[in-house]
Chain A
Amino acid sequence: MTEAGYRIVGKSIPKIDSVDKVLGAARYADDLEFPGMLYAKLLRSKYPHAKILRLDTSRAESLPGIRAIITAKDVPFNAYGYNFKDQVVFAQDKVRYMGDPIVAVAAENEEIAEDALEFIDVGYEALPAVFDPREALKPNGPKVHEGGNLCFHRKIRFGNVEEGFRLSDKIIEDSFSTEKMEHCHLEPHTGVAVFNDQEGLTIWSSWAMLFNVHGELARILKIPSSKIRLIHTTCGGGFGGKNEVSLEPYIALLAMKTRRPVKMAWTREEEFIGSTTRHSYFLEYKTGVKKDGTLMSREVRMISDNGAYTQLGESQITKASIFAPGPYKIPHVKVDGYLVYTNNTVGGAMRGFGVPQVMAAVETHMDHIAEILGVDPLELRLRNALESGDRIATGQMLHNEQLKVTLSKASEVAGWDKPYKKETSVPHIKRGRGIACMFYPIGLTEKPNPSAAVVKVNPDGSAVVLVGSADMGQGSDTVLSQIAAEELGMPLDSVAIVSGDTKTTPHCSGSVASRVTYATGNAIRRAADKAKRMLLEIAAEKLSVSTEALKAEDGWVYVKNTPEKRISIGTLAFTSYQLDGKPVVAAAHFNPPNTPLDPETGQGNPFPAYVSATQIAEVEVDMKTGLAKVLRIIAAHDVGKAINPELVRGQITGGILMGLGQALTEEIILREGCTLNPNLTDYLIPTAMDAPEIDAIIVESDEPTGPFGAKGLGEATNIATAPAIINAIHNAAGIRIRELPATPEKILLALRKAAKRD
């Protein structure tokens, strides 16, 4: 038995899909092949902003092997977008970014599809374009959309910042910028669509927000959503890049037109240009602080580059605005988050949804404040860290806040109170360490976001769990199976999970926002409990006790005080179905409670629970080349209960490497709207040689609102990393980088500037 008496929850069970994956037998979308399958390709805009004057596909249509060509006129409803319906399936009158799709073709093979694009004649009239979101906010410039370039303005008003500044002893200001990033999930967007009378439209692909795309597609195609089936295949990663509509409308329309299966696989290049990216930010911070380090007042102004369309941009800047002040008690806070259209590639969701950007800024800013005050950066954070009972800038009061625990545990393991040796055997290589902390929520921002679950118990005592939550590779199928098995009192082996099928599984708001364990886990617990009750009632009668006296465990229901008195779950299920005529099926849902934010003040309770973390980075800087190498990261993460500790650890190690990329090497380089590095040769994600040692510390607590006390952490792990590294670089080399990524070039330049000053 594990502690708290759990049999399965809390155990590091190997993922249920591992064997297929190590054998190379797991089937991802590109591994699917159907007889008569066609291949589809997109023709994308060559200009960042232009009118389309002429579109002639006739020459392409007559090419041998071309089976269908579609454009805007073939789309029943040519608009979509999660926050605002401002994006088009096909650009019609104008293109708004270099990559905006104009035509799709389906051909007998990939080569013919590619060739056909050359035969399509598009006449553009280039329009003046805007690429810097700060420029885009100025009046009289080029407008990306008719309504102007300010897409959305989020305001948070808590207390009175001017009053706070008056009460402060020191006021510190900092400006930052963070880069546009790409998810680089190893599996590119790939999907196959089949359309026939019997089943309607079926698409195999992978999505984090299956039901979102499902609904959008029904609107786009103007057919009932019940006639569309999205089936989530084995997924090669998402990280937020597979949340919204991408290739589905194209393969759907082509499949419907040709009545043949149609596959589209985006190239790695298309991933950089045509898929969503992490928003870049310009951030300005102004903080008022007392001599002793107490934070009094914080004002943040930030501009987020939406790109040409919004997708999830508005939710993203709302979340960023809520967390911009950092995980601290601050009596006076003012945040203005501006989401601005430009003719750049489209911003969407990427692991952390605006928070990696603001936390990189605020935690570097905090380190700067510590330096000015002459205070230890750990002490500054401990002094101001949020605790249970504190209110964040939206006015929400926190419960089960573990930030201080993470600060203590991380600093203890790192030996923070001991001196750190900065010299190495090579004079020009210096070491340093830095600390950063963060907090992050569970669940979608300020909107209802339910998960539903159905549990069926078969007559042999095994169970099937149906959930809409797609496994993105992180192991949600495994974790949810553990939760189901624990609640039902069955061995893990008896539980089969079906996930991610819009026709057969119930709704889920998405494998996003670190919400699956929490929301779907709770839904499963509720459904499993209902199913279990049906069985307990039969057992109570047969054993002549009340249901309260019974416990289900390991496939048996037994009397707690006299465990020899027991009946197998199989017997009970058989009895219910075959003898009593009551199939054991139960459905339930869970909606993480939240309240919307006031549009003027940002006040509300946007999330049901929060997680926090502290990361400490040890870094080596080559003072002659500017190259920074991360040696070690100590990471303490508050997760509530770790349902599967090894999977929690996997999120920590994976998230840290992504944060390392944000800190040091990753940046989509855009010039005049053109992506100059749409490949892995020049968009550099960390390799195995970049991987530091990682001490992963799981901080557990019992979250009262979570399943078996669990919260979540999928995104939290990549949020404190970048500022911890930036702060470590400062500790090592005496320079503070405020523009991410901190490339060797930027570091060397900063070192030269610093040397000139001295």
Chain B
Amino acid sequence: MVKENLVEIEFTLNGSKIKLKVKPNETLLDVLRHRLKLTGSKKGCNTGECGACTVLMNGKPVNSCLILASKANGKDVLTIEGLGSPGMLHPLQEAFINSNAVQCGFCIPGIIMSAKALLDEDPNPTREDVQEAISGNLCRCTGYLPIIEAILEASRKNSEKR
């Protein structure tokens, strides 16, 4: 029996600092869902292929099912729960609703996070840029087109604001 050590981590989660003791063999996805009850990030495949677990770490999309929780130490983590709120949806969330990009919804939190990272870096992506940015997020329901349209719509709305 290996004597495992608990690892103390401190990181920013959805804008607030949080301190936790995690087991080394826990993934960030497990910690988010089971310890912190943030169930918005989903477990679709558990091997980093489907992207349903995508969160932002230091602003970049990553598969939380592949990240050992201890790696979150010192990082800035954003999950779907940290984006928008009832009554004040993020422009991406609005766009997804209005473009009918949400069917079963299981892939949606992960895709929205990938989309947010894209628009933060490139406010005016092309269609191809969007396809590439969400290439690591699988969707079985929508055929991607309404999702691509939603992201382009959100980027257009953002440009109008400026």
Contact = CB atoms under 8 A, between A and B. Distances in A.
Decide if A and B touch, CB cutoff 8 A. Answer: yes
B73 interface: no
A15 B139 CA distance: 18
A200 interface: no
Contacts of A649: 100, 146
Interface in A1-47: 12, 14-15, 17-28, 30-31, 33
Interface in B103-130: 103-109, 112, 130
Interface string A641-669: 00000110110111111100000000000
Contact of B131 (A19, A28, A236, A688): A688
B45 A268 contact: yes
B16 interface: no
Contacts of A237: 103-104, 106, 140-141
Interface string A613-651: 000000000000000000000000000000000110110
B47 interface: yes
Contact of A22 (B93, B141, B144, B148): B93
Contact of A687 (B52, B135, B141): B135
Given A679-B49, A689-B131, A654 B97 contact: no
Nearest to A271: B45
Given A650-B146, A655-B143, A691-B144, A24 B106 contact: no
Contacts of A27: 39
A467 interface: no
B132 interface: yes
A475 interface: yes
B155 interface: no
Given A186-B52, A237-B106, A691 B141 contact: no
A480 B98 CA distance: 20
A185 interface: yes
A239 interface: yes
A687 B138 contact: yes
B144 A658 contact: no
B131 A691 contact: yes
A657 to B, nearest CB: 4
A450 interface: no
B77 interface: no
A141 interface: no
Contact of A691 (B45, B81, B84, B145): B145
A24 B47 contact: no
A681 interface: yes
A236 B50 contact: no
Contacts of A650: 100, 103, 141-143, 146
A691 B100 contact: no
B44 interface: yes
Contacts of B141: 186, 237, 473-474, 650, 654
A236 B141 CA distance: 9
Contacts of B38: 24
Given A22-B108, A475-B103, A239 B145 contact: no
B64 interface: no
Contacts of A689: 131-132, 135
Interface string B71-106: 000000001110011100100010011101011111
Contacts of B102: 15, 17-18, 21-22
Given A22-B97, A650-B100, A688-B147, A186 B138 contact: yes
A658 B135 CA distance: 16
Contacts of B103: 15, 237, 473-475, 650, 654
B70 interface: no
A469 to B, nearest CB: 15
Contacts of A657: 140, 143-144
Contact of A24 (B81, B97, B135): B81
Contacts of A735: none
B145 A653 contact: yes
Given A236-B105, A679-B49, A28 B142 contact: no
A654 B93 contact: no
B40 interface: yes
B108 A694 contact: no
A689 to B, nearest CB: 5
Interface residues of A, number: 58
Given A473-B103, A680-B50, A680-B138, A23 B42 contact: no
Given A15-B100, A24-B79, A186 B50 contact: yes
A183 B44 CA distance: 13
A623 to B, nearest CB: 23
Contact of A186 (B41, B44, B136, B147): B44
B134 interface: yes
Contact of B140 (A28, A33, A184, A646): A184
Nearest to A475: B103
A693 B131 CA distance: 12
A480 to B, nearest CB: 16
A685 interface: yes
A687 B111 CA distance: 12
A665 to B, nearest CB: 12
A703 to B, nearest CB: 23
A649 B130 CA distance: 20
B46 interface: yes
A4 to B, nearest CB: 23
B96 A22 contact: yes
A180 B45 CA distance: 20
A739 interface: no
Nearest to A31: B39
A651 B132 CA distance: 23
Interface in B5-52: 33-34, 37-47, 49-50, 52
A24 B40 contact: yes
Nearest to B30: A110
B104 A186 contact: yes
A26 B39 CA distance: 9
Contacts of B135: 687-689
B45 A688 contact: no
Contacts of A186: 42, 44, 50, 52, 104, 106-107, 138-141
8 contacts: A17-B105, A22-B102, A24-B39, A184-B138, A184-B140, A185-B104, A186-B42, A685-B138
Closest 3 CB pairs of A and B: A24-B40, A473-B104, A21-B105
Given A23-B93, A24-B41, A688-B131, 16 more contacts: A12-B100, A15-B100, A18-B96, A19-B97, A22-B84, A25-B40, A186-B138, A186-B139, A265-B43, A268-B50, A472-B104, A473-B141, A649-B146, A653-B144, A654-B143, A680-B49
Interface of A: 12, 14-15, 17-28, 30-31, 33, 183-188, 234-237, 239, 265, 267-268, 472-475, 646-647, 649-650, 652-658, 679-681, 685-689, 691, 693-694
Interface of B: 33-34, 37-47, 49-50, 52, 79-81, 84-86, 89, 93, 96-98, 100, 102-109, 112, 130-132, 134-148
